[in-house]
Chain A
Amino acid sequence: MEVKMTGITKSFGHNSVLRGVDFGLHAGEVHALMGENGAGKSTLMNILTGLHTADSGEILVNGSERTFANPKEAEVNGISFIHQEMNTWADMTVLENLFLGRELKNGIGWIKTKEMKAQAKGVFAELGIHLDLNRDVGTLSVGQQQMIEIAKSLMTNAEVIIMDEPTAALTEREIDVLFTIIEKLKSRNVAIIYISHRMEEIFRISDRITVMRDGVSVATKNTKETHNDEIVRMMVGRDLEDYYPEKHAEIGEVVFEAKQLGQEKVFKNISFQVKAGEIVGFSGLMGAGRTEVMRSIFGIDPLDEGELYLEGEKLLIKSPHDAIRKGIGFLTENRKDEGLILEDSICDNISLPSIDGFKKHLLIDTKAEHDFADMLMKRLNVKAMTREDPASSLSGGNQQKVVLAKWVGIGSKVLILDEPTRGVDVGAKREIYQLMNELADRGVAIIMVSSDLPEILGVSDRVLVIHEGKLAGELSRTEATEEKIMTLATGGY
C-alpha cells in the first residue's frame, strides 16, 4: 500500500499543531517518523487513521484520495495503529483481546473458540510468539501486550502498521524479537511507520526517516545517506553539544541507606547507600526486580524484611504519604496509570503531591499554587497552551515532563526516578539530565532506574546491577561499561 499525505494542517482550538506536513510511505518499507515532543507525530498518525480530521491537506491511498471516518474503518482497510499508550483489556484473556470486536461466530451468535484458537496459534507461530491464549492480559509484561497488538494487526491483514514508540517499555530481548518481526512483516510487503526517540533503533531498523519540527515536515532522508547528528539537527534546529552534560556536584555524606531489603519471591538482600549529590543508576533486565525494590521503599508495596535509613534515622514507611513526608520522591515508570490524573489540569497534577503545602487559612492559596506550576512548567519546558489544559491533551513526552515536574516540586532529599526519560525527545532528555545534575548540586540523593544502558553510563556516578532479585554487582563510573553491566545483568561474573 502506498500512502501520501500532503499539506496536512490541524489545529486544536487556538493551538495549531500541524502546519503543512508532507509524508509519503512505500509498500514494504520501514519509515521512521521523528521529532521533538509535541512536534505532531501522533497527531499526524491520528489523522491518517481517522481519529482526527485534518483542517486541510490531502491523503492519497494507492493514488486515490481517501479519508477514513474512524480508526476502525482504517483498520478494515489495512492500516493499524499500535498506540503510544496501549489499548489492551487487562481483565480479558489473550484470545479475547485478539478477537475483540470481531469474534468468529456461528449462525446463532455462538462464539467459535476452537477456530479462533487455531487462527491465533497460526499468527503466533508466524511471529515466533509463545503465549498462553487463556492468560489474562493484565498479567503480561508491556512487551508481551505489544506482541498481542502486533498479532492483532496481522490478523486484520494490515498493509500498514503504525508503531508509536513501541520500544519505550521493552527489554533488550523483546526489542530483538520485535525487530525480527518487523523484518518478517517487511518481507510480506507490509509497510511500517515507526515513531521513536531512540536514535540507535532508528538507524538499525528504518529505510527512510521523516523529521518533523513544530508541526511541519522538515525533510525525508534515506537512512543510509544520513547520520545521527544530521537528524538531531533537523529535529531541534541546531547542533546539540555533548549529549550527557557534565556533572560537578560534590558528593557528600550518606543520605539514604537500605539494609537487607527483601520481598518474598521478588527480591532479597538488597543493600545500598546513596550519598548527597550522588546519582546512583540501577540497571538490570526488565523484570529483575528494580522497580519492585523502589516501590516497596516508597511504601506502595510492602517490604517483608530490611531497614531503611534517612540521614542515619531509621524510617518507618507504610504508605507513599509517609515516604513523601520523610523527604522521598518517586517518579513511577507508568505515567498513565500511576503518574497522571489525565482529565485534571497540568497545574493540578503538578501540585498534587505538594498540595498540603499550599494551605493558607484552611484554603488553597491558588496564587502560590499557580506560580509554583508555572515555574516548574517553565523549568521543564512543558509545551502546552496554558497550565489549565488537561494533562490528556499533552503529547506523550510532555506528559512525562509533567510527572517529573510534580516530583521535582516536592523538594525531597531522596529522589527515585524510574525510567525518567521514557518517551522524551533527545533535547528534552538532555535537559532532564541537566536538571538531575542541578538537584544533585543542591545535595539531593538521586536513584535512577533505567533500561537505557547509554543513559545509565552517561548519568550515574555509580551503577548497581540487579539480577533476578539480587544485587549482582556494583560498578563505579570509571569501571562501568555496557559489557560489564550486561554480564552482571544476565547472571555472569
Chain B
Amino acid sequence: MKNEVENVQIGNKKVSYKDLISKLGPLLALIVLMIFVTVLNPGFISPHNILNLLRQVSTNALIAFGMTFVIITGGIDLSVGSTLALSSALTAGMIVSGLDPILAMVAGVAIGFVLGAVNGLLITKGRMAPFIATLATMTIFRGLTLVYTDGNPITGIGDSFIFKYMGRGYLFGIPFPVVLMLVCFALLFMLLHKMTFGRKTFAIGGNEKAAYIAGIKSDRIKIMIYAISGMMASIAGIIITSRLNSAQPTAGTSYEMDAIASVVLGGTSLSGGRGRIVGTLIGALIIGTLNNGLNLLGVSSFYQQVVKGIVIIIAVLIDRKK
C-alpha cells in the first residue's frame, strides 16, 4: 500500500470558505442590522442605549445559553419560561417569609436546576420526546406558579442590597445583569467547547447510539443538560424579579420562543450535533437589536412580532442554502 501518511495534515486546521461563512454569517447579520438601525436613528448607537440593549438582552441570552446545550443534543426545552416563573415565585416567597436573600437566591437557582432535571428524567428514564415532556412540564410549572401565588404578584420583597443589585446594580458602569450574562457565557463556553462534557454533548447530538457504545453515559449527560437549562432560566428569573421588585405569576411567558430563535439564528442546528454558543450570544443580540431598534423607530409592537418572525425565516433559509 502506498504510504499516505503525508496526506494527513498535522498542524493547524484548514478552514474552508463555507465554514467561514457559516461562522461569520450571524455576526455579519448583526453588524448590518446595527448599521441599518443607526442610519435610521443615530440614537441607537449611544453608549446609554447600547448598555440598555445589553441589559434587555441578558435574560434572553442566559436562557438561550442553556437552550444551546439542549438543542445540540437534538432536544428542545419549552418549559424555560414556566421554570423561570416558578423559581422566581418561590425565591420571592422565601425572601418575603424572612429567609436571607442570598440563601433564597441560591435556593431559587437550585430549584431551577431540579425542575430542569425533572425534564431530563422524563426524557431519558421516561423515554419521552423532549418536545412532549417539556410541553407538559411547561403547563405544570406554570400551573404550580399560579397555585403558589394564587395568581397575584408577590411583592414586599424588601430592600436587600444584594437582591436589588442583581437586576438594577452596576459594576464599573456596566449593568450587573450584563456582567452576569458574560460570566455565564464564559463558563458555559468552556463547558461546551473546551471540556469533555461539551464533547459528549456534541457526540450525543451527532449519534446517540454511537456515543453510548463509546462509553458515554448519555442519560446522565442529558439530565445534566436539562438541569443546566432550568438553572439558567432561574438565574434569568432572579434578574427579572429584582428589576420589578416583585415576582409575577405570568413572568417568562413565551420566553422559550426568543431563546430558541436566538439559538437557531446563531447557527445551531435543530437536528442536533452542531452548534456554537458564541452564535447564540450573537443570535440573542440580533433579537435584542430588533426589539430595541424597532422600538426606537417607533414601530408598533404588533408589527415587531411580524418582523421578528420574518427575520428568523430568512436566517433559516440562508442557513439551509449552505
Contact = CB atoms under 8 A, between A and B. Distances in A.
Given A320-B215, A330-B213, A406-B214, A383 B7 contact: yes
Given A352-B211, A431-B1, A386 B195 contact: no
B273 A381 contact: no
A213 B177 CA distance: 61
Interface string B249-270: 0000000000000000000000
Nearest to A383: B4
Nearest to A323: B215
B9 A385 contact: yes
Q: Interface extent on B, as a size class? A: 20 to 34
A381 B3 CA distance: 7
A356 interface: yes
Interface string B188-218: 0010001110011011001101111111110
Nearest to B212: A320
Contacts of B202: 341, 344, 348
Contacts of A339: 210, 213
A488 interface: no
Contacts of B203: 341, 344, 348, 352
A386 B8 CA distance: 5
Nearest to B206: A341
A214 B196 contact: no
A359 B196 contact: yes
Nearest to A373: B8
B127 interface: no
A36 B1 contact: yes
Nearest to A431: B1
Nearest to A407: B214
Contacts of B217: 319, 321
Residue in A337, A344, A382 with the greatest tally of chain B CB atoms within 10 Å: A344
B62 to A, nearest CB: 22
B196 A377 contact: no
Interface stretch (B10-18, B75-83, B110-118, B139-147): B10-18
Interface in B1-52: 1-5, 7-10, 13-14, 16
Nearest to A300: B213
B11 to A, nearest CB: 9
Contact of B206 (A13, A344, A383, A384): A344
A331 to B, nearest CB: 10
B308 interface: no
Contacts of A338: 209-210, 213
A317 B282 CA distance: 44
A377 B203 CA distance: 20
Given A321-B217, A374-B8, A431-B1, A358 B210 contact: no
Q: Which of B1, B190, B194, B202 has the most CB of A within 10 A?
A: B1
A388 interface: yes
Contacts of B213: 298, 300, 320, 330, 332, 338-339
A13 B211 contact: no
Contact of A384 (B8, B195, B210, B214): B8
Interface string A329-366: 01010000111111110001000110110110011100
A454 interface: no
Given A321-B215, A352-B214, A355-B200, A381 B1 contact: yes
Contact of B196 (A343, A356, A385): A356
Interface in B264-289: 273-274
B9 A340 contact: no
A427 B214 CA distance: 27
B195 A342 contact: no
A340 B273 contact: no
A428 interface: yes
Contacts of B214: 320, 324, 352-353, 406
A385 B7 CA distance: 5
A339 B274 CA distance: 18
Contacts of B8: 374, 377-378, 382, 384-387
A325 B203 CA distance: 19
B207 A340 contact: yes
A357 B181 CA distance: 31
A343 B5 contact: no
Closest 5 CB pairs of A and B: A341-B206, A386-B9, A324-B215, A427-B1, A353-B214
20 contacts: A236-B2, A298-B213, A319-B212, A319-B217, A321-B216, A324-B214, A332-B213, A339-B213, A340-B207, A344-B273, A348-B199, A352-B199, A356-B196, A363-B195, A370-B10, A374-B8, A374-B10, A378-B8, A382-B8, A387-B8
Interface of A: 13, 36, 214, 236-237, 298, 300, 319-321, 323-325, 330, 332, 337-344, 348, 352-353, 355-356, 358-359, 362-364, 370, 374, 377-378, 381-388, 406, 427-428, 431
